[in-house]
């Protein structure tokens, strides 16, 4: 049996896949098992932040694999220690807690917020406000946190204590914030929800409300973080500082890592035995993340992400058949006049462009080091595909 047949026979059917088996890649280019070439503007959902098999990243990861591949969290290791130091020095945060994915990073943030509240106010102050159209993960608790009704099916009972407010409607957040509320959890740009950029006024008003009521503001940076929106973290675009953030996707450059970071107020909330994960802070994964952070935290690199994002959005807006384009940095949603994003994505893949969707939009999350000529090529393939469909 070939790869696709094996997958269909032996892997649970949790994804509708494109009809392609990828086998290799370099930079923004991927190859399938037949050697066909694809330009990739999806980076494995914003994961391969430096593209496929970046030389420096490969060197960092293989060096660590040859030296020591895993230690339990009962021992110290320099890779997570240095990664945590870098992230704290680059931000206002004080401490890091490692995990292996975005959902787990959010689980950790939820635990930190609830324990802070429990320690200070006692039991019962445990509600968390999240937003409609948010996405926070696939565990039973992060499904609960996700403000989309279609995610709240089958797997009952879901974790209690989540309330959903309208994005960009401050009154709806205020109406839910009471003496049971311990946290507000938001994405500053909702990724899976359709690349919805929150209003700066709204985000700032939520920050102020949280300050007044000692409510923990958690920003989910799983998709928006690590340079994706032209800043190291997306909240910087909104001139606020959260109490807690989570990140994952682009952090490891293609290896599974997540983390949550907290400010001074929360730095001593977690104590031995309150949280843990066998694989978290894995040295190889952290070596990849250290390389990614060293590369993308550079001001010039982040400026280029902004410039390339503006260049790409501008080209997309001019395409015949494109209704609107939204995004920040290299996180981009494209609304089509025919509202047929999924069909166009499938045809783009046939035409050699790996692209994904978010709700009814096409979504681009290209490697952050994509070149201008690759951007031109991607727009050309998309344009050809849209025109062929007319």
Ligand X SMILES: *Cc1c(COP(=O)(O)O)cnc(C)c1O
Cβ 38 to ligand X shortest distance, Å: 22
Closer Cβ to ligand X, 102 or 352, answer by number: 102
Cβ 204 to ligand X shortest distance, Å: 20
Cβ 21 to ligand X shortest distance, Å: 21
Closer Cβ to ligand X, 27 or 225, answer by number: 225
Closer Cβ to ligand X, 129 or 381, answer by number: 129
* Closest by Cα among 142, 134, 230, 261 to 188: 134
Closer Cβ to ligand X, 218 or 287, answer by number: 218
What HEC string does the chain produce?
Answer: CCHHHHHHHHCCCCCCCCCCCEEEEEECEEEECCCCEEEECCHHHHCCCCCECCHHHHHHHHHHHHHCCCCCCCCCCHHHHHHHHHHHHHCCCCEEEEECCHHHHHHHHHHHHHHHHHHHHCCCCCEEEEEECCCCCCCHHHHHHCECHHHCCCCCCCCCCEEEECCCCHHHHHHHCCCCEEEEEECCEECCCCCEECCHHHHHHHHHHHHHHCCEEEEECCCCCCCCCCCCCHHHHHCCCCCEEEECHHHHCCCCCEEEEECHHHCCCCCCCCCCCCCCCCHHHHHHHHHHHHHHCCHHHHHHHHHHHHHHHHHHHCCCCEEEEEEECCEEEEEECCCCHHHHHHHHHHCCEECEEECCEEEECCCCCCCHHHHHHHHHHHHHHHHHCC
Cβ 47 to ligand X shortest distance, Å: 9
Cβ 181 to ligand X shortest distance, Å: 21
Closer Cβ to ligand X, 159 or 340, answer by number: 159
Closer Cβ to ligand X, 191 or 309, answer by number: 191
Contacts to ligand X by CB under 6 A: 101-103, 106, 135-137, 187, 191-192, 220, 222-223, 248-249
Closer Cβ to ligand X, 228 or 315, answer by number: 228
Cβ-proximal residue to ligand X, closest one: 102
Residue 364 has φ and ψ, to the nearest 5°, of -115, 130
The Cα–Cα gap between 366 and 46 comes to: 7
Closer Cβ to ligand X, 133 or 374, answer by number: 133
- What's the chain's length in residues? 390
Closer Cβ to ligand X, 15 or 154, answer by number: 15
Cβ 220 to ligand X shortest distance, Å: 5
Instruction: Using CA atoms of 77, 79, 85, 88 in order, give the dihedral in degrees to the nearest 10.
Output: -120
Cβ 384 to ligand X shortest distance, Å: 29
Cβ 247 to ligand X shortest distance, Å: 9
Cβ 139 to ligand X shortest distance, Å: 8
């Amino acid at each position: 049996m070939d790869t696709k047949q094996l997958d269909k026979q032996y892997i649970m059917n949790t994804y509708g896949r494109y009809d392609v088996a990828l086998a290799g890649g370099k930079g923004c280019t991927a190859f399938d098992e037949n050697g066909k070439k694809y330009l990739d503007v999806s980076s494995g959902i914003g994961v391969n932040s430096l593209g496929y098999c970046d030389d420096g990243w490969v060197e960092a990861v293989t060096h660590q694999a040859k030296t020591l591949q895993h230690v339990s969290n009962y021992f110290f290791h320099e890779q997570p220690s240095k990664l945590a130091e870098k992230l704290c020095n680059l931000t206002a945060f004080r401490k890091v807690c490692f995990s292996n994915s975005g959902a787990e990073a959010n689980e950790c943030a939820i635990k930190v917020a609830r324990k802070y509240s429990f320690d200070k106010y006692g039991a019962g102050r445990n509600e968390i406000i999240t937003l409609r159209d948010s996405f926070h993960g696939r565990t039973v608790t992060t499904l609960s946190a996700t403000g989309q009704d279609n995610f709240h099916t089958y797997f009952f009972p879901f974790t209690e204590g989540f309330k959903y407010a309208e994005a960009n409607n401050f009154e709806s957040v205020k109406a839910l914030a009471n003496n049971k509320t311990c946290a507000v959890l938001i994405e500053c740009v909702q990724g899976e929800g359709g690349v919805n950029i929150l209003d700066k006024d709204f985000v700032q008003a939520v920050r102020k409300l949280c300050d007044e009521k000692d409510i923990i503001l958690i920003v989910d940076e799983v998709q928006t973080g690590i340079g994706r929106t032209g800043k190291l973290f997306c909240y910087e675009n909104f001139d606020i500082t959260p109490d807690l953030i989570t990140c994952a996707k682009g952090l490891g450059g293609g290896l599974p890592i997540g983390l949550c970071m907290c400010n001074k107020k929360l730095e001593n909330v977690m104590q031995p035995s309150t949280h843990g994960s066998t694989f978290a802070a894995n040295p190889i994964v952290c070596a990849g993340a250290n390389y990614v952070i060293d590369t993308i935290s550079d001001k010039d690199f982040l400026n280029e992400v902004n410039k390339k994002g503006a260049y790409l959005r501008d080209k997309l807006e001019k395409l015949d058949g494109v209704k609107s384009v939204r995004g920040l940095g290299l996180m981009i949603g494209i609304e089509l006049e025919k509202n047929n994003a999924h069909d166009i994505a499938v045809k783009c893949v046939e035409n050699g462009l790996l692209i994904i969707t978010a709700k009814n939009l096409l979504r681009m999350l290209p490697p952050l080091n994509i070149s201008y000529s690759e951007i031109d090529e991607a727009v050309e393939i998309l344009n050809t595909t849209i025109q062929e469909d007319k």
